[in-house]
Structure 1
Amino acid sequence: MPLSNSVTQFLDKQQLEYQLTAPLDAPIWHDQQLRNNGAARATLLEDSNEKVLAIYPADSLLDLSAVNRLLGREMQAIAPAILDTLYEKHHLSSVPALPGLAGMRTVIEQSLYQRDPLFLDAGSREQMLDLSQISFKTLAKDAISGEISIPISKIEQPTQASDQDIILASVRQFTELRVKERLEETLELPPLPETAQRIIKLRVDPNADISDLANIVETDPNLAAQVVSWAASPYYSAPGKIKSIHDAIVRVLGFDMVLNLALGLALGRNLAMPKDGPFGVTPYWRQSVYMAAAMEGLVTAIPRENRPSFGMAYLSGLLFNFGYLVMSEVFPPYFHKLCRMMEANPHVDHTLAEKHLLGLTRDHIASWLMDLWNMPEEIVFALRYQNEPNCQGEHASYAKLLFVARRLLSQRGLQCGPKLDIPASVFEDLGLDPIKAETTIDNILECSVELENIANHMVPAA
């Protein structure tokens, strides 16, 4: 997308000299390009009185609380639907990081004044603005400046503490904020569902057969209906009508897949869907269905000698965002604040906002809970390290597959994270051809109608 006329007119009116970076020879995602160059990006905020432009480094997290302290207001990010209307009207792909644009009050991260030359998001996916500090300060003469962001590198710094120590430290922090005193009291979670307990026992029973699994699923009418509707979906092209759980297992899905599907659904239904949530993010079950399908497809794309277990990969995809549900129940006083922080920072992964506000991530808490529930080690590891592409260990392939699947889906518009590159080393570690991976995801998205129908059946009735 070329530079918008509204942007060039604004710059020309200011009589400022500027340059545009040359389009890159190789395609690169816009969020990634801005981050790699330490460019300035912008988030459009609002309250009931006005809209405010917040400008900060793309390699940083916008601290919404700091902005509100600076302004003495309660601002939050503008809804994506409104932004889309603005983009269409002004031929933009993002919010230009230009102080005073459209006459809006502007708040700027003060460290940007130390970057020279300074690259800015121009509202175009193809190019950035190259502006001198003199020109930027001229534009920002009426802006408010302060420490309104935190460098991503600072949040991502590794810790030597164990996951349990991280969780306990986070709870102690909340204790000081008058939340709860002990971890056991803080985790007011329902016990592991009876259906899930029976399925977990069945997993380790060498004599288990199709009838045993069918009997467990059939005792839960809602779960049985969901499994049958999954098997009956055109996505699996099953011949004839699916009449029973036994039929779904034998003719369509297979023992291993039904076992993992039933377990994932039982766990997902155990926690209530949060009434609040970051706007613009793909709903929980829709994400889960697409991720499960993506994991299934990516495993197939790996050479047979390197493939991890289909069942474990599928289940990890179905449960990859389980920590989101846990977060909403464990930290209800802070979940609202976390949602607003995520809305203001669509360019970074949710883990950064969670680390900044809570001291731990949904991956920490979900993995810890899965371990308490005696879930398979592969799932515990996959959920914990799914956002750490350099992780090592016996089960690292599951975590890395989740990383690849989520980024590929995000790059194609499924709102479960920013559009960022996938390091070549991750594909190499998995023995996965990047071209085959891309093709696999494209093929899955061609079945979006069928997948959407499956996801709709997963949503609990109101």
Structure 2
Amino acid sequence: MSENTSANLKVSIKNLEALPAMPSVVQRILSLPLDTEEGERDLLKLIGTDPQISARIIGLSNTPMFGASKKVSSVSDAAMLLGITRVKSVAVGIAVMSTLTRHPMGKLKVQDLWLHSMGVALAMRVLARAMPLRTRPLEDEIFLAGLLHDIGFLVLNYIDPKLSDELHARLAENPESPVQEVEAGLLELGHAEMGAQLATHWDLPENVVSVLRYHHLPADEGSDVGQPLVGLLNLAEKLLPAFGIAEFVTPEITEDEWLSFGIDPSRAEDIASLIQEQTEQAKKMASNFG
């Protein structure tokens, strides 16, 4: 890539001229209070007006992962099974990905990205449940962070599809190289910063912006506002190297990392096994999000 192309990419993002507006449905979903019956009803009504979001949430509810005893056929039934906060996060994730999706998508496969993002969100949930109750992040924060953390890949594809294809070709050619190293040889801004720029543009919560920006750099002091979500997401990706998309991260996890979340390192193997089980189930449901 030429220096001019790199500079133009950075300028485009910094000036926000190439970034889409936040989908109106996302604005409305995020503004609804879920601590009231009226807010919950308004959320379900809003989701019900969007056929794509409705179909995918219902499809998610009917996967074995969530243990439905009978076929779920409505958004309200899905909310009873999944929980209203999880429905909210999944709806936001679907709407965001749809907004940033161009057809044809080239080498970046949205279904694979969704699989990766859902796998990470599920892994974060398993990890959070192993943490002491008083330090656990909220369920909706976990899912929102997990589903949105890699939207920078979609931002790049939205702005410059050819450059996106080149990046994913290089990632596939270098399966043992950390994503930051591959990006550094091609991009002025990596997917983490691109995602953070979009999240800032959309005025998403500061902890979500921090997750997007620092999920590969959890020790950076700038990540403080997003903790413990940033660290949990980083740990989840180490347990799921190159799951769904070609995004290799170093898989080594130290005892100190487990202890930093209040998790006994002796539980590491069981936790890893449970995460693998859930992500195998995630693969089976991926067709609902293609």
Corresponding residue number in structure 1 for 2:228? 397
Say if 1:380 and 1:450 are closer, same or farther in 2 by CA, change over 3 A.
Answer: same
**Aligned partner letter, 1:351:** Q
Q: Give the number of equivalent residue pairs.
A: 287
In terms of fraction of residues, the more strand-rich structure is 1
Aligned equivalent of 2:123:
294
SS in 2 for 1:394: helix
Determine the C-alpha separation between the residues in 2 that align with 1:364 and 1:258.
Answer: 27
In 2, the alpha carbon distance for the partners of 1:208 and 1:437 equals 42
Cα gap change, 1:453 to 1:356, in 2 (>3 Å): same
Determine if contact 1:367/1:383 at 8 Å carries over to the other structure.
yes
Q: Quick one: which of 209, 216, 219 aligns to 1:387?
A: 216
Matches within 5 A, 1:192-341: 192-203=22-33, 208-250=38-80, 252-272=81-101, 275-277=105-107, 283-341=112-170
For residue 178 of structure 1, report the CA deviation from its aligned partner: 7.0
Q: CA RMSD in A?
A: 3.1
Q: Given the superposition, is the C-alpha separation of residues 446 and 332 from structure 1 closer, same or farther in structure 2, using an over 3 Å criterion?
A: closer
1:36-57 CA distance string (max 9 Å, x none): xxxxxxxxxxxxxxxxxxxxxx
Q: Which amino acid aligns with 1:443?
A: L
- Contact residue 386 and residue 402 of structure 1 kept, 8 A: yes
Distance 1:178 1:395, change over 3 A: closer
Match of 1:407 among 224, 227, 238: 238
* CA distances 1:75-104 after superposition (whole Å, capped 9, x unpaired): xxxxxxxxxxxxxxxxxxxxxxxxxxxxxx
**Residues 443 and 177 (structure 1), Cα distance of their counterparts in 2 relative to 1, 3 Å cut:** closer
In the alignment, the residues of structure 1 paired with residue 208 and residue 10 of structure 2 have an alpha-carbon distance, to the nearest angstrom, of 29
SS in 2 for 1:283: helix
Q: Which residue of 348, 352, 364 corresponds with 2:193?
A: 364
SS in 1 for 2:71: coil
User: Which of 264, 278, 282 is 1:433 aligned to?
Assistant: 264
- 1:336 and 1:411 mapped to 2: Cα distance? 17
| Residues in 2 aligned to 1:304 and 1:180: alpha-carbon distance in whole angstroms | 41
- For residues 254 and 350 of structure 1, the distance between their equivalents in structure 2, rounded to whole angstroms, comes to 34
Q: Which residue of the partner structure matches residue 348 of structure 1?
A: 177
Q: Which runs of 5+ in 2 are unaligned?
A: none
The two structures have a TM-score, normalised by structure 2, of 0.86
| Native 8 Å contact 1:409 1:441 kept in 2 | no
Distance 2:16 2:207 in 1: 26
Structure 1: tracts of 5 or more residues without a match: 1-64, 66-169
Larger radius of gyration: 1
| Displacement after TM superposition at 1:331 (Å) | 3.2
* Percentage of identical aligned residues: 28
The equivalent residue for 1:99 is none
Asked if structure 1 preserves the Cα contact closer than 8 Å seen for 2:61 and 2:82, the reply is yes
**Conservation of the 8 A alpha-carbon contact between 2:210 and 2:225:** no
Mapped to 1, the partners of 2:12 and 2:113 lie a distance apart of 29
Partner SS for 1:450: helix
Q: Offset of 1:204 from its aligned partner?
A: 8.1
